[in-house]
Chains A and B, each alone.
Chain A
């Protein structure tokens, strides 16, 4: 059939133009596109603290000002909304407690424009160009921006506290910088926690199905390396990497299942787990356990019925609300969130929110314990090994690894359930659920091999003591402790 008969001379140029545009689109789809022209818009969050607090503040202006970017209008806007809510809530809670050393805590948020990197970096550059206006820089949403922004903050002599993008690279060789601090759950920890969970289930032959972009590749690498390390005779029988944004997983599932693995690890993001589950189920693979991906609210909200969830479906999380609502500071944040937003479209705090809160608490502790805004003092404090802060991931104080400056936070892996009595019915079935912390999957000895930062034996010993203390505190809490990795 041919319906085109005129303007044939145009064909060659048309084809060339088409191919060029298709190539541009392909690059955009791969998440490597050029600049988003949307100018970052600043939203200065209203300070909540009373003026009396500022009178005691040792810092100029009576304010400790922090900067971050959040993706409100971009591709992860739903996560951005929850994160922005968390940011505002964190600011309010800190100021309700009297601020930081009596100073008002003020957080300035710029639009990030994820997944574009340029607007994000531009926003940080502009903030850094304002000299000492900002004492604390929190990390961005996007991994691409996070990978580059620490070079800017370090060059400016400013601290960077990662509490959104979970990348571990700025904390390991060769990208480690002493002013980098990690207050969230890293991709490294997520991949390792999933490997540990699979190993505990007796998997010997695992397969990987991860989206083909930075996060998916990093999570897969962490899973693969650690699975081989901890499972005697462990084998990765197949790895598949669908393009980012792909939603037709059936050919990838078939390729993976052709190797008959004991279980699979996938690193899909919430919105992609739903079609994965459907196609997994329609393919009749329910009997094989599958850790389907990183799910969190609002991703859970996409699950409308129990029938959407295949049997033996697991997921992992960087701050499951069911668990973090049990810790003192996690519960405080959870309750405040539910009080303010419990009747909204997103009635529960997302783990990104808890991670953000963790970052704010870490910065508060660093400033208060060092009595300084100087990141060098913060680094010295952390590298003593004894620094802890009241983060939301533990019952007791959260240690921070002195070698890589990563908080000893925890990832969760568990069976996916559906309980209509919960505010969001899709959630973890706590009968098959584990809370796996950084200290469970990274020894101090291995940490020193991954990050060249010689802090000395005393610091490592102090850190080990802090880890032991928090393990005991966690396990002493009957409800929380039952999920701790053994």
Chain B
């Protein structure tokens, strides 16, 4: 325990943990959606998130940095990454559905390296500094501290995405088809639904959220190629901790990971990431299927 750390600093740290957890959920939601529906472990998801950040950077330089422009950039980044994701799914990932897990991993991991190479070639390795729209500049004073406004934005965005996903899956015909495809794709196909197109749509939807997450993270002030690997490590911890394919699990686990890391910074500064993995192994030891996972048959 960090002696001399005040209750106020704990409060602030919890807010930051929730903010980090919110960003994690934005990434992990798409990842878990794709895994849940398509059973493909998409290691390139973090790279698409990173690409979303660069797309947002480029769009901002064209559209501008105002409040309205920010929302447009956020949306367009998601759309562009969804389109890229759909292209990848159709051309490269679809052929490996049903193949050995290792094959899927290698194909998707290849795109981690390919996208990183493209980004370094186009934008350089140094990263880019990014700007914040006026309504998210500065901080909010709470108790004795100032919390950056974008931390609250991250939380609100994560909540909105969670509600949107829930609504899509459980309150729309599309959601019913996705769930049906997950349960028995052949039966759905026989009933006249184009399952291939549906899977492409699910993949694109997952990538859409990755693009939005990338655009959102640029609020922190800078982006760089390295954010891809940082994100995918934590995102996979989230989806395993929450239970593979479980959106509710991903939501809870995102905040567990965010809080564990933030509080770990106060308690064991040199090993805060180790705290995250410690939480993971303890949960898996007690509940191998993850927090919201179901036991394997």
B166 touches A282 (CB 8 A): no
Partner of A14, one of B101, B141, B294: B101
Partner of A255, one of B8, B13, B225, B293: B13
B256 contacts partner chain A, Cβ-Cβ < 8 Å: no
B80 contacts partner chain A, Cβ-Cβ < 8 Å: no
A8 touches B296 (CB 8 A): yes
A251 contacts partner chain B, Cβ-Cβ < 8 Å: yes
A282 touches B222 (CB 8 A): no
Q: Which residues of A contact B178 (CB under 8 A)?
A: 3
User: In whole angstroms, what is the CA distance A262 to B103 when docked?
Assistant: 54
B146 contacts partner chain A, Cβ-Cβ < 8 Å: yes
A248 touches B220 (CB 8 A): yes
B126 touches A3 (CB 8 A): no
Q: A240-B265, A255-B9, A308-B221 are in contact. List 19 more A-B contacts (CB 8 A).
A: A2-B36, A2-B294, A8-B295, A9-B296, A9-B297, A11-B296, A25-B232, A28-B229, A79-B126, A245-B230, A250-B148, A251-B17, A254-B13, A258-B2, A258-B8, A271-B222, A279-B220, A279-B221, A282-B148
A4 touches B182 (CB 8 A): yes
B157 contacts partner chain A, Cβ-Cβ < 8 Å: no
Report B53-74 CB contacts with A as 1/0, cut-off 8 Å: 0000000000000000000000
Q: Which residues of B contact A237 (CB under 8 A)?
A: 4
Partner of A283, one of B127, B148, B165: B148
A386 CB, nearest partner CB in chain B, Å: 41
14 examples of A-B residue contacts, CB within 8 angstroms? A9-B297, A12-B296, A21-B105, A26-B233, A28-B229, A29-B229, A77-B125, A245-B227, A248-B220, A251-B13, A254-B16, A279-B221, A283-B148, A302-B129
Partner of B146, one of A13, A243, A284, A304: A284
Q: A6-B183, A251-B13 are in contact. Are A277 and B221 (CB under 8 A)?
A: yes
Considering only residues 235-259 of chain B, those with a C-beta below 8 Å from chain A are 236-237, 240, 243-248
Query: Which A residues have a C-beta under 8 Å from some C-beta of B?
Result: 1-15, 17-19, 21-22, 25-26, 28-29, 73-79, 212, 237-241, 243, 245-248, 250-252, 254-255, 257-259, 270-272, 274-279, 282-284, 298-299, 302-304, 308
A78 touches B124 (CB 8 A): yes
A241 touches B269 (CB 8 A): yes
Interface centre among B6, B150, B151, B269 (most CB of A within 10 A): B269
User: In whole angstroms, what is the CA distance A77 to B101 when docked?
Assistant: 34
Binds A, one of B37-45, B87-95, B188-196: B37-45
A11 touches B270 (CB 8 A): no
Q: Which residues of A contact B110 (CB under 8 A)?
A: none
B262 CB, nearest partner CB in chain A, Å: 4
Considering only residues 116-140 of chain B, those with a C-beta below 8 Å from chain A are 120, 124-129, 131-132, 137-139
Partner of A17, one of B41, B284, B293: B41
Where chain A touches its partner, the secondary structure class is helix
A29 touches B230 (CB 8 A): yes
B271 CB, nearest partner CB in chain A, Å: 9
Partner of A258, one of B9, B139, B295: B9
B36 touches A4 (CB 8 A): yes
User: In whole angstroms, what is the CA distance A277 to B130 when docked?
Assistant: 12
Q: Which residues of B contact A245 (CB under 8 A)?
A: 224, 226-227, 229-230
Partner of A304, one of B125, B129, B132: B129
Q: Which residues of B contact A14 (CB under 8 A)?
A: 41, 101, 244
Q: Which residues of B contact A247 (CB under 8 A)?
A: 217, 220-224, 226-227, 230
Partner of A1, one of B12, B166, B294: B166
A4 touches B236 (CB 8 A): no
B35 contacts partner chain A, Cβ-Cβ < 8 Å: yes
Q: A3-B182, A278-B132 are in contact. Are A17 and B230 (CB under 8 A)?
A: no
A1 touches B297 (CB 8 A): no
Q: Which residues of A contact B148 (CB under 8 A)?
A: 250, 279, 282-283
B128 touches A251 (CB 8 A): no
Partner of A29, one of B4, B126, B233: B233
User: In whole angstroms, what is the CA distance A298 to B123 when docked?
Assistant: 13
Report B196-226 CB contacts with A as 1/0, cut-off 8 Å: 0000000000000000000001001111111
Q: Closest residue of chain A to B178, judged by CB?
A: A3
B294 touches A7 (CB 8 A): no
A258 touches B4 (CB 8 A): yes
Q: Closest residue of chain B to A22, judged by CB?
A: B236
Partner of B20, one of A9, A248, A282: A248
Q: Which residues of B contact A254 (CB under 8 A)?
A: 9, 12-13, 16, 145
A274 touches B151 (CB 8 A): no
B24 CB, nearest partner CB in chain A, Å: 10
Q: A28-B229, A29-B230, A78-B125 are in contact. Are A18 and B236 (CB under 8 A)?
A: yes
